Amino acid sequence: MSPPEPDSEIGSVELHRSAKIVFSIRHWNGQPYAHVRKFVSTARYEGWTKSGLVMARDVLTEVMESLVRLQAEVPGTQEHAFARIARSGGREIVISIVPPNDLNALPAVDVREYSNTPEYTGPTKKGIRFSWDKLPHVIRLLQLQAKQLRECEPTEPTTPPAPTPPPGGKEPLTGTPSTRDDIFHRLLPEGPKDFPRDFLEGEVATDTVIDLPPEPIEVAQQPDGTYVVRSPFGFFHPVRNSAEGNLIVYAHLRGHRTVHLPHEMIAVFRAVTGYKNYLHQLRHSLIQAYERKSGYRPMAEHQAKEVFREYGLPWIESS
């Protein structure tokens, strides 16, 4: 028997300073498998642990789709199993939400193989656990693993199998699902307001049009006291003050690649101030609603931040 091909590492998720979960592809007997395994580095030991999973493409797909649906949930303070994925030999993978011991922390997601045999029934060491804020990164790496497994199996049909519907009969979610929940849709059925368009009052004269770069930009004050909007890759535009700079940055966050600057500074101030007030109220409403459903504040703030991140809304702390 020929030795297995070396691992092809996809990426990793850091759990804490001395541990991470590594995602890779490994071939065995000519077949590719997704490996998800915990690696630790401490003063006493450095290397792989027994914690991890080995999945063929069909199982990986079910785990990935279950985690995508899980991301749209608002977890409460009670531990519960979210999904069960059958495997051969009396085994199954159970995806659970595990509340933290400290209500100032986020819950954890546990993806673990369970055994149901005459010898033993219950959880095994084959699994991974990570905090809720790592979930989007884990999903992304699983998607990359699935993509590579598909590329390793070119003779299979290209039409993917129909995914298993989640509890309640709803269709599985696709894309980035962090805000696809009933709370978000109840508060923002049409999504957040656009900036600056929805915050400019009436007809506003503009005399400057700026083409914006694709990379992140920021407002910065120069040594002489003037303000500019800049990027790490050479974009540089002087502005009259920080408010005008914020107008450009906020428009860029919402996905605009050109921005029309109002000629009158009062229009700039009103738009930026109105937008900040809108964001403060939106943040308060989201946190309040998520806290009522989840039962604790840190999870509510995390869910609200995910909404802001997904829609390019600046998270402005109250002054």
- Is residue 148 assigned to a domain? yes
- pLDDT score recorded for residue 70: 92
pLDDT band at 73 (very low <50, low <70, confident <90, very high): confident
- Is residue 293 assigned to a domain? yes
- Is residue 31 assigned to a domain? yes
Give the tens place of pLDDT for each residue, 208-247: 899 999 999 999 999 999 999 999 999 999 999 999 999 9
Nearest 5°: phi and psi at 197?
-50, -50
* Token reading at 138: 């884990």
Backbone φ/ψ region at 312: left (φ over 0), alpha (ψ -120 to 50), beta: left
How far, in Å, CA of 146 to CA of 126, rounded?
A: 20
* Token reading at 148: 């590579």
Domain boundary among 105, 137, 157: 157
Kindly report which listed range (55-59, 69-73, 279-283) carries the lowest average pLDDT score: 69-73
Query: What domain count does the chain have?
Result: 2
| Percent of residues in the chain assigned helix, strand, coil, to nearest 5 | 30, 30, 35
Give the tens place of pLDDT for each residue, 81-93: 999 999 888 899 9
Whether the CB-CB separation of 160 and 103 falls below 8 Å is answered with: no
Whether the CB-CB separation of 98 and 110 falls below 8 Å is answered with: yes
- pLDDT score recorded for residue 210: 95
Q: Are residues 218 and 279 in the same domain?
A: yes
- Residue 116: domain span: 8-157
Residue 254: how many CB atoms within 10 A of its CB? 18
pLDDT band at 171 (very low <50, low <70, confident <90, very high): very low
How far, in Å, CA of 181 to CA of 178, rounded?
A: 8
Q: Are residues 143 and 252 in the same domain?
A: no
- Is residue 166 assigned to a domain? no
How far, in Å, CA of 90 to CA of 169, rounded?
A: 26
pTM: 0.71
Scanning the structure block, which residue is given the tokens 């000519």?
A: 30
* Token reading at 88: 């051969």
Q: Are residues 220 and 261 in the same domain?
A: yes
Q: Are residues 272 and 195 in the same domain?
A: yes
Q: Are residues 116 and 202 in the same domain?
A: no
- Is residue 147 assigned to a domain? yes
Nearest 5°: phi and psi at 175?
75, -155
Nearest 5°: phi and psi at 93?
-100, 125
Q: Examine the pLDDT at 173 and tell me if it is beyond 50.
A: no
